[in-house]
Amino acid sequence: MKKIITLTVFFILVLSCSDSKDGDWDDNIKLSQKEVQFSSAQNNVEISTEGTGWWIDEVSMDGELFDLNGIDTTKENFTIEETEFSIERKNSTEIFISMQQNPTESSRVLIIGLQAGNYFDGIKITQSGN
């Protein structure tokens, strides 16, 4: 009887094991580009996505976070306007990003964090110094 219980417990343990991680999501945004290099001149880029249910959860330039309160980034179209850059979601699958000329000698880095469910991704734009 003890042998049967031991085998049953062992069998249940083996069947309950799996390789998948709980909460581990696959890429459901599918960005066309994740990193972009700009010269110091005014530049822009349009990035497309295959997924549609994403939103912007963070924007930072050179480590400084920008306040997104008051902007519903879950909408199909919106614009985030700042002095150095603008980010426009044109529709559910296109993001248009423009950066003004960089007058400084040092490069600057714009990071746009995207989220769709429990999947996080981002766009990194590096603009050269003048």
Q: Domains in the chain, ordered, with CATH?
A: 26-127 (2.60.40.10)
Residue 79 binned pLDDT confidence (cut-offs 50, 70, 90): very high
C-alpha pair distances (Å), 130 with each of 2, 14, 39: 78, 61, 8
**Confidence at residue 75, expressed as pLDDT on a 0 to 100 scale:** 95
**Confidence at residue 22, expressed as pLDDT on a 0 to 100 scale:** 56
Instruction: State which H helix or E strand residue 71 sits in.
Output: none
Say yes or no to pLDDT of 127 above 60. Answer: yes
Burial class (CB in 10 A: 0-12, 13-18, 19+), 97: buried
**Confidence at residue 49, expressed as pLDDT on a 0 to 100 scale:** 97
**Confidence at residue 18, expressed as pLDDT on a 0 to 100 scale:** 63
pLDDT tens string 4-31: 777 777 767 666 666 655 556 889 999 9
Kindly state the tokens that stand for 109. 């880095």
pLDDT tens string 92-102: 999 999 999 99
Q: Name which of 7-16, 62-71, 81-90, 120-129 the model is least confident about.
A: 7-16
pLDDT tens string 25-76: 889 999 999 999 999 999 999 999 999 999 999 999 999 999 999 999 999 9
Q: Is the pTM of this model over 0.75?
A: yes
Least Cα distance to 46 among 90, 103, 9 occurs for 90
